[in-house]
Amino acid sequence: MATAIQASVSYVSPRARFGLIVPATNTVVEAEFNWMTVPGVSWHSGRIEITNPSLKDDATMVAFLEQLRETIGGAVSRVCACLPTYMVMGMSAETFWGGQDGAKKFEDFMVEKAGGLQVTTGALAAKAALDCYGAKRIGIITPYQAVGDQQVVDFFTQIGYQVYMIHGLRCETATSIAEVDPETIQEAFRKVNAPEVDALLQAGTNLPAARVAVDMEKELRKPVIAINTATVWHAYRTNGILDKVQGFGSLLEEH
């Protein structure tokens, strides 16, 4: 467990220093988070050791997450050396795992590992974002295998949402998720949409969907929420940072 130390004010980031935990295989989170950075805050990454990036089937995806649980503590400890004021999870699969109870256990696990710092997780952020719109019936896209998709469905079903459809892109490695092109992501959103769907959500933080979601929101005329946008939004609003950020959809522009 990292030891929480009272953080002093940083000259370049007096509003918040965010500790950002990402898998070592992730190349999208830091880029998209930096696009959405507002004055007076900073992001500081702790990268989780990953020895096998394969996600080619259900078994390898489970093995990927099991190894991640063993090495995440080191990433948290390293990032806590810079005295962050708040912790943010730049990964989402693990935050949904085990449904509602599993999500809460993971949140508690992260708070304990960070020495008491509060944390934004993908699951927390996604729920808060959907609640902003009063959404109840949702469509979801992911880069996951079937086992990962089921965990996401279980989480949202258990907290009271109706999942109209989920579409997993079945990416074969953790790094190849970042290689998915915008057109593929757009088509995935269209597949899980229907007139009765209130909002669309994307999970999987290495899937580059923040800007794609903006275009789809305009096309489909309903909220389209990218997980990285929701995570940044939740971290900001939880810390009293109310800046409206343009270019990433209605969540950051209006809520």
* pLDDT digits 0-9 by tens, 63-107: 988 888 899 999 999 999 999 999 999 999 999 999 999 999 999
| Distances, alpha carbon 180 to alpha carbons 65, 132, 225, in Å | 21, 28, 17
Residues 117, 128 share a domain: no
pLDDT of residue 74: 96
Residue 78: which residues within 8 A CB-CB, separation 6 or more?
46
Q: Is residue 253 part of a domain?
A: no
Residue found by looking up tokens 């500790």 in the block? 19
Query: Above pLDDT 90, what percent of the chain?
Result: 92
Residues 159, 80 share a domain: no
CATH label of the domain that carries residue 106? 3.40.50.12500
Contact indicator for 115, 1 with CB cutoff of 8 Å = yes
Considering its fold, how many domains does the chain have in total?
2
Query: Above pLDDT 70, what percent of the chain?
Result: 96
At 41, list the tokens.
Answer: 């805050």
Query: Mean pLDDT over residues 129-148, rounded?
Result: 97
Q: Is residue 7 part of a domain?
A: no
- The number of residues in the chain equals 255
Residues 202, 166 share a domain: yes
pLDDT of residue 10: 85
| Helix (H) / strand (E) containing 65 | helix 58-80
The model's confidence at residue 219, banded by pLDDT at 50, 70 and 90, is: very high
Q: Is residue 202 part of a domain?
A: yes
Residues 190, 236 share a domain: no
Sign of CA pseudo-dihedral 94, 95, 96, 98: positive
Question: Measured in whole angstroms, how far is the alpha carbon of residue 85 from the centre of its chain?
Answer: 19
What is d(CA 244, CA 103) in angstroms, rounded to the nearest whole number?
28
* pLDDT digits 0-9 by tens, 145-162: 999 999 999 999 999 999
Residues 236, 110 share a domain: yes
pLDDT of residue 234: 98
b/e for 8-34, b at 16 or more Cβ within 10 A?
eebeebebbbbbbbbbbbbbbbbebbe
User: Per-residue pLDDT for 3 more than 80?
Assistant: no
Query: Mean pLDDT over residues 217-228, rounded?
Result: 98
**Which of these, 100, 77, 97, 101, lies nearest to 87 by C-alpha position?**
77
User: Per-residue pLDDT for 4 more than 70?
Assistant: no
What is d(CA 177, CA 66) in angstroms, rounded to the nearest whole number?
19
* pLDDT digits 0-9 by tens, 29-57: 999 999 999 999 999 999 999 988 899 99
User: Per-residue pLDDT for 1 more than 70?
Assistant: no
pLDDT of residue 216: 98
Q: Is residue 237 part of a domain?
A: yes
Q: Is residue 106 part of a domain?
A: yes
Q: What does DSSP assign to residue 139?
A: E
What is the rounded average pLDDT for all residues in the chain?
Answer: 95
Residues 155, 70 share a domain: no
Q: Is residue 54 part of a domain?
A: yes
pLDDT of residue 8: 64
Residues 191, 172 share a domain: yes
pLDDT of residue 2: 56
What is d(CA 124, CA 41) in angstroms, rounded to the nearest whole number?
21
Query: Mean pLDDT over residues 164-182, rounded?
Result: 97
Residues 136, 39 share a domain: no
Residues 234, 222 share a domain: no
**Torsion angle of alpha carbons 171, 127, 89, 98, nearest 10°?**
-70
Residue 4, Cβ neighbours under 10 Å: how many?
Answer: 14
Whether the predicted model's global pTM rises above the 0.85 cut: yes
Alpha carbons within 13 A on the beta-carbon side of 75: 25
Residues 167, 114 share a domain: no
* pLDDT digits 0-9 by tens, 106-125: 999 999 999 999 999 999 99
What is d(CA 255, CA 127) in angstroms, rounded to the nearest whole number?
14
Phi and psi of 165, rounded to 5°? -160, 150
What is d(CA 140, CA 198) in angstroms, rounded to the nearest whole number?
11
Query: Mean pLDDT over residues 199-225, rounded?
Result: 98
pLDDT of residue 31: 98
Phi and psi of 173, rounded to 5°? -140, 160
Residues 84, 48 share a domain: yes
- Residue numbers of the domain that contains 212: 124-226
Q: Is residue 10 part of a domain?
A: no
Residues 136, 65 share a domain: no
| Helix (H) / strand (E) containing 171 | none
Q: Is residue 11 part of a domain?
A: no
pLDDT of residue 7: 55
